[in-house]
């Protein structure tokens, strides 16, 4: 059984930071392990889902996106909701605005299908937008293939990986990324190799729910439709500002002074700072 804090310490802090938060005994963490045993046959609350046909694309110089990986991430999100997890406990995170738009579109489908659930606090954010946010379960989509893009930066990868307190699902085309030139020289390579070495990689072979695939479908010959899909504005109520709890804006536009008590560090479980600012951090990220 792998704990999120131990994983973060090994990859980003050279095993020099001991997590003070006992996540393994939390009810949500136990539920995630049971969920993973049922669906993937692995007793863990961190897992990498290998999407072999996930292809990273880019339209007209705009943000990157990966349709197949988004479908897999949304399918897992739907399974979590069916298993009784509340939307407000879940986060769909990715490094690119294009991928975030696909997840927002998918969450429209989920909000309509599961209308009895409140999706107003469902997190659908980029890694940068999720800075300082803690969710119970993080479905983290890496998007990229053999070119790491933004993920060459260890600090950005750390922010993405540390947003889930009790469960972490990595959605990635592991084979394509690991074929990238010099990948083991950057944190992303060691990040994925951790899952490989710990036998925590599950090869995705399940069919995508037909209704979800139809809702998310794009015509490969109609570029304008794809562009509009990437620009879609979610009908779901925006998340409230995590700094002042005002629903009219997000934390990045908050006019009020920063409230340190609005964030909790996943390494030491203390309020007032995030993982990147943790006083126990012994190494500079590079």
pLDDT of 249 reads: 67
Q: What is the 3-state secondary structure (H, E, C) of 24-61?
A: CCCHHHHHHHHHHHHHHCCCCCEEEEECCCCCCEECCC
φ, ψ (nearest 5 deg) of residue 210: -60, -40
Of 7-16, 47-56, 74-83, the one with minimum mean pLDDT is 7-16
Percent with pLDDT over 70 in the chain: 76
The residue ranking higher by pLDDT, 128 or 14, is: 128
Location of structure tokens 């406990």: 89
SS3 282: coil
The residue ranking higher by pLDDT, 53 or 230, is: 53
**pLDDT tens-digit series, residues 157-176:** 999 999 998 999 999 999 99
pLDDT of 75 reads: 96
Count, in order, helices (H) and strands (E) of the chain. 9, 8
Indicate the average pLDDT of the chain: 81
Which residues make beta-bridge pairs with 58?
64
Q: In 231-267, which residue ranges form alpha helices assigned H by DSSP?
A: none
The listed CATH number (3.90.170.10, 3.30.70.980, 3.40.50.300, 3.50.50.60) that belongs to domain 4-55+62-206+223-231+239-277: 3.40.50.300
Helical pair 154-161 and 187-197, crossing angle rounded to 10 deg: 40
**Rounded to two decimals, what is the model's pTM?**
0.76
Confidence check: pLDDT of 52 > 70: yes
Of 34-43, 154-163, 242-251, the one with minimum mean pLDDT is 242-251
pLDDT of 230 reads: 42
Measured CA to CA, the distance from residue 7 to residue 268 in angstroms comes to: 14
φ, ψ (nearest 5 deg) of residue 93: -120, 150
Largest CA distance in the chain: 53
pLDDT of 280 reads: 62
**pLDDT tens-digit series, residues 112-140:** 999 998 888 899 999 998 888 889 999 99
pLDDT band at 257 (very low <50, low <70, confident <90, very high): confident
Measured CA to CA, the distance from residue 52 to residue 78 in angstroms comes to: 21
pLDDT of 147 reads: 87
Which residues make beta-bridge pairs with 65?
57
- Cα dihedral sign, 246-249-251-255: negative
Which residues make beta-bridge pairs with 137?
90, 167
């Amino acid at each position: 059984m792998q704990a999120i804090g131990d994983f973060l310490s090994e990859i980003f802090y050279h095993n020099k930071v001991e997590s003070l938060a006992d996540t393994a005994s939390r009810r949500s963490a136990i539920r995630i392990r049971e969920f993973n045993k049922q669906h993937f046959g692995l007793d863990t609350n961190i897992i990498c889902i290998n999407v072999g046909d996930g292809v990273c694309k880019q339209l007209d110089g705009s943000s990157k996106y990966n349709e197949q990986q988004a479908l897999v991430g949304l399918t897992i999100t739907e399974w979590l909701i069916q298993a009784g997890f509340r939307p407000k406990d879940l986060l769909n995170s990715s490094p690119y605005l294009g991928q975030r738009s696909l997840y927002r579109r998918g969450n429209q489908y989920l909000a309509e299908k599961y209308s009895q659930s409140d999706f107003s606090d469902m997190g659908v954010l980029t890694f940068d937008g999720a800075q300082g946010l803690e969710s119970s379960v993080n479905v983290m989509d890496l998007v990229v293939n053999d070119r790491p893009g933004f993920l060459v930066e260890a600090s950005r990868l750390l922010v993405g990986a540390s947003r889930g307190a009790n469960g972490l699902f990595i959605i990635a085309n592991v084979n394509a990324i690991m074929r990238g030139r010099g990948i083991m020289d950057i944190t992303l390579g060691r990040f994925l190799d951790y899952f490989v070495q710990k036998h925590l990689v599950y090869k995705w072979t399940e069919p995508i729910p037909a209704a979800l695939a139809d809702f998310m479908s794009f015509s490969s010959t109609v570029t304008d439709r794809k562009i509009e899909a990437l620009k879609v504005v979610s009908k779901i109520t925006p998340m409230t500002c995590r700094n002042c709890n005002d629903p009219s804006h997000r934390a990045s536009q908050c006019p009020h002074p920063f409230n340190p008590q609005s964030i909790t560090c996943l390494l030491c479980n203390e309020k007032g700072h995030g993982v990147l600012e943790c006083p126990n951090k012994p190494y500079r990220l590079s």
